Structure 1
């Protein structure tokens, strides 16, 4: 039976540990990672801590409010193929963060939810006192448990109860019960815990014999100490915990393998010969413009399929310094770890330990070689350096549950439609009383699009100037294909450009675009917090550049507020 594997650690600050933490995260495959006392600030991006496999939610301490320089902060990272969302409205005045994971059981078919909370309770120089924070959290927990009585709750964090609570093992199970509570301010919290059948499962004590980090749940959990911590060195007052919750089946977003054309390995001599042999004038001038463009692409796709190799790929989330040998070792390590957990065979554990040691050593070597290569080529190949810097600044990982108003989407298609609805709703309709002809007449503009000359030399120059490292648009023709076939494509492209301008029509496919939602700020699960970026077909962009050069100088001072675009 599969289990939900949760990693928990009070790290006592991540500011100086980001590099090693990131690499250790890459070497492991936890479903959920909960970190307290992160000490993070806005200038440290989540991409410096987690690779693309995870969705990350943070609640950094407000140092302006607390008049502190260090301390506090919590984060939760969830594997991105799990359906998870942050419950921003569940936060209390405590440093807590809540996420909900949707789980499904096949037989019988049931959808249920697990709510995970990471929190940190402490005294602050300014702001809420410890007792006030605990009281607010208790009231909030009471409301949530009463509102969702059938759901599973897992609450973990640094409660800082210290010697105020003495714990003893329950004779009935793995949980611990409070034997003695010396601080009366804690009584209301434990009354709430008892009312809703929450049990405490962490019995691992720190170097002083205390348990500062607690794990509560209304479902049975297994809590173990683990040696291979993600953040090192490990603070002696806070043990690193591995928490397991057994469930029947995860509800994940399915990611299909895709067919990828290897354009960099294409036979472009054959491609160019095939393009030259086409009678483009007869092929493109005997039908309407949209049909001509369709024919143009059909011929390109036909030639592409003949001379460009294809391979089936599935998106990988490994760092760029991982090589094939390391990836295979990680897969074997995971296999033997799963076998040991299932059967308890010591030989499987020894194999797992050996592979774990090999993986760490090889990862260190791979990373050092990667950094050495980047540093050595910073002058000759600065792109590699800036790609590495960019990977530490941003990542594009959408939550698996998105909402727009009262509508919630959980599948890839539903989320796509939700973004489409929002972006369409923000479109500003032009003034219906103002036609393009009236606009030109009113502003005394004397220009005709059809009079723009399409120069073969200029079109060829633009075709060859495309950046071959960029991707293509909705027509799926990348720059490398166009650049390597520029002279063979010149005739059909010029023919289509001339027809488009003379007929005053833009082909439909050139009006289509790939839309990428870019996060602005706020709740990542709310589509209204994103702005769209469009990726057009490259042929359309070239035509746009030609037209822009001719008309912009004439129209620049005449454009109104309704002239806009993404």
Structure 2
């Protein structure tokens, strides 16, 4: 057996005081371990629960505990997966047994029905259904030719309005259903229109929205000619949609995907989901930049309606009137106010190619500047327009050490697939000219990449686990991590880092000192400023003896949650982020499922709290209008001083320089007096500094002090209003 001490490495003598490690059975000097005689007696007892281990065994045990924790999580994950597989197998087995029990038809009959359904759908692809065309009740039911002629003329007028360039002379029409002259008030029967090509049907359906803007045809709708089974499937999906909406889900609609009706989320545009977007952004932590495309915003929506005051918003809304459309487009950048940012002038790009929306920002960091550009390229943009846009964008003023990041919806799936065409060649030339690299490899549901991220700096792009709204199947949310940019602290300096905490004041001592103080020293000759300084110096001397102080926290990372974020919501947010860190560390489905559960829980809690908050404001608007105006002011305005501004052709980023620029700009609204003479020493001085007050009695002052609110909030002088109210008679 080795008698060398595991700690000091010296050979242990036979009579030396030693102890054995319960882990590796090695020898340790008691002096090296630092145990007392009583501790040694306890460790040498026969029946003991205390173990003695060396430093090496202790570290191994710590690693073993981490490994044991990981094994336990994997066991839970494995057990959960086995139970889910068993449950799915039992469900599928029960479904098959039920189908075999209920459907006793032969396989040949089922195959025949499927073939007939496919043929019926194929035959109906060239048909178009028109709803809402009025019938003529005064025409006899026997005169079908006259009725058909009138219907055909009406259908031709409708189709010509939808597509003026279409040839509708050879169409065939048919009213569906039996005409009843006894019920003229019933809805008009739909008309089936038989066209020559199914592509023509799709074009008419796509352009049918023009009927809504026409007063004479705004009740006319166009639809595909679907089979009874297709209609039954649609009704079933519609019932499911009604159930999900009644359960509180929003922004849902029915969309045909591969010929089948599906319930999807309406994620394009922010107009219909402003409150949900605002709440989702408010719960985010450590997010510096938010980039959005297809915002569908207009000038009637302010920035603070969908983003908190923590962000400075730069956006480019689509000029709907110039484009001749009613909605669509638009890009946006939200920059955290801890970053210094200024807008890039990219208006010339809109003059060259108005169909492409683009917005740019310049970020200032300690080491370099970052040029950040977000753009949206609509699918209908021509090759010529795209080439003109890239050529103009490549002429942007970029310094040698500037870093660039250009991201957005390019709608060019062929670029990442390696296909060669005019679009991909132009984009490759643009990328090579600016020495950029494409970093996004996150595919959408259809295995395409429409959102591209070009940059000349190191960045990591992955699918985001935190979505503002439900993901679009074509555009999954992305998380871009930029490692080269170091944010600057933009907190404006505060002279007083401490304030009096009147909530913990010793009020008997405070009021006694204020009452017993001799204020005769104020009746001296001197300027108003000197007397005021003496008054505040005495007050602060008394406050220091009776009121404790507390330090002001100036952390820029402090979260400013909306008023409806209660403590339960804040705890749920912290739990969600803790689970997300564990998932990122261990990459197990167990932690990811827990994270998903708490992510959904946060959304439900926030939606319910916001709904209750809004209901409370609406119900109490007559008795508590202040809460309503506070909410409105918070949504419409912001009082934050910008972190970067231009003044007199100078770019200012220093807080003191920005404040001085504001003071210089507004200096023309007041007159600065050079007179520093004592107050009212001469008639001339009094005329220069006088403020005319007709009469001011002690009663007026007492009445004004009594109307002060009983609040602990202090003004610029650090004196709360409740103290002025309580000490009204003392101060006079």
Same fold (TM over 0.5): yes
Q: 1:296 aligns with which of 524, 532, 535?
A: 535
1:99 and 2:361 matched: yes
Cα distance change of structure 1 residues 68 and 144 upon mapping to structure 2, 3 Å threshold:
same
- Greater alpha carbon shift after TM alignment, 90-99 vs 40-49: 90-99
| SS of 2:480 mapped into structure 1 | strand
Contact 1:11/1:38 (8 A) holds in 2? no
Q: Which residue matches 2:273?
A: 17
Q: 1:223 aligns with which of 436, 440, 461?
A: 461
| SS of 1:17 mapped into structure 2 | helix
**Residue 216 (structure 1) shift:** 1.4
**Residue 361 (structure 1) shift:** 4.3
Residues 135-534 of structure 1: pairs in structure 2 closer than 5 A:
135-144=387-396, 147-162=398-413, 165-168=414-417, 179-182=418-421, 184=422, 187-232=425-470, 234-247=471-484, 249-254=486-491, 258-263=497-502, 271-280=510-519, 282-289=520-527, 290-308=529-547, 310-314=549-553, 316-335=559-578, 337-338=580-581, 341=584, 352-353=595-596, 355-424=598-667, 426-427=668-669, 452-466=694-708, 474-489=716-731, 491=732
| SS of 1:206 mapped into structure 2 | coil
For these two proteins, the number of residue pairs brought into alignment is 444
- Greater alpha carbon shift after TM alignment, 480-489 vs 294-303: 480-489
**Residue 214 (structure 1) shift:** 1.7
Contact 1:27/1:330 (8 A) holds in 2? yes
**Residue 86 (structure 1) shift:** 1.8
Contact 2:579/2:591 (8 A) holds in 1? yes
Cα distance change of structure 1 residues 485 and 451 upon mapping to structure 2, 3 Å threshold:
closer
* Aligned mates of 1:91, 1:308 — CA distance in 2: 60
Cα distance change of structure 1 residues 216 and 449 upon mapping to structure 2, 3 Å threshold:
closer
Q: Which residue matches 2:308?
A: 51
- Deviation track 1:158-193 (CA, whole Å, cap 9, x = no partner) reads 12235xx2424xxxxxxxxxx2232x3553343121
* Aligned mates of 1:316, 1:32 — CA distance in 2: 16
Q: Which residue matches 1:39?
A: 296
* Aligned mates of 2:585, 2:658 — CA distance in 1: 37
Contact 1:85/1:399 (8 A) holds in 2? no
* Aligned mates of 1:136, 1:278 — CA distance in 2: 80
Contact 1:201/1:222 (8 A) holds in 2? yes
Kindly report the root-mean-square deviation, in angstroms, between the aligned alpha carbons of the 2 structures.
3.7
* Aligned mates of 1:450, 1:43 — CA distance in 2: 45
TM-score between the two structures when normalised by the length of structure 2: 0.54
Contact 1:226/1:241 (8 A) holds in 2? yes
Cα distance change of structure 1 residues 210 and 352 upon mapping to structure 2, 3 Å threshold:
closer
Contact 1:268/1:484 (8 A) holds in 2? no
What residue ranges of structure 1 are gaps of 5+ in the alignment? 1-9, 105-110, 169-178, 433-439, 492-566
| SS of 2:431 mapped into structure 1 | helix
* Aligned mates of 2:394, 2:329 — CA distance in 1: 24
| SS of 1:235 mapped into structure 2 | coil
* Aligned mates of 2:692, 2:435 — CA distance in 1: 77
TM-score between the two structures when normalised by the length of structure 1: 0.68
**Residue 345 (structure 1) shift:** 7.2
**Residue 336 (structure 1) shift:** 5.1
| SS of 2:498 mapped into structure 1 | strand
Q: Which residue matches 1:559?
A: none
**Residue 96 (structure 1) shift:** 0.8
1:78 and 2:340 matched: no
* Aligned mates of 2:725, 2:622 — CA distance in 1: 25
**Residue 273 (structure 1) shift:** 3.7
Contact 1:271/1:485 (8 A) holds in 2? no
Cα distance change of structure 1 residues 57 and 210 upon mapping to structure 2, 3 Å threshold:
same
* Aligned mates of 1:68, 1:79 — CA distance in 2: 32
Cα distance change of structure 1 residues 401 and 430 upon mapping to structure 2, 3 Å threshold:
closer
Cα distance change of structure 1 residues 135 and 302 upon mapping to structure 2, 3 Å threshold:
farther
* Aligned mates of 1:403, 1:330 — CA distance in 2: 38
- Deviation track 1:415-438 (CA, whole Å, cap 9, x = no partner) reads 2233233333x4466999xxxxxx
| SS of 1:367 mapped into structure 2 | helix
* Aligned mates of 1:350, 1:231 — CA distance in 2: 19
* Aligned mates of 2:648, 2:306 — CA distance in 1: 31
Cα distance change of structure 1 residues 75 and 166 upon mapping to structure 2, 3 Å threshold:
closer
**Residue 373 (structure 1) shift:** 4.1
**Residue 41 (structure 1) shift:** 1.6
Contact 1:21/1:230 (8 A) holds in 2? yes
* Aligned mates of 1:23, 1:222 — CA distance in 2: 26
| SS of 1:251 mapped into structure 2 | coil
- Deviation track 1:42-71 (CA, whole Å, cap 9, x = no partner) reads 221211111222111111122222222210
Higher strand fraction: Structure 1 or Structure 2?
1
Contact 2:370/2:485 (8 A) holds in 1? no
Greater C-alpha Rg: 2
Contact 1:122/1:130 (8 A) holds in 2? no
* Aligned mates of 1:414, 1:341 — CA distance in 2: 43
Q: Which residue matches 1:561?
A: none
- Greater alpha carbon shift after TM alignment, 78-87 vs 364-373: 364-373
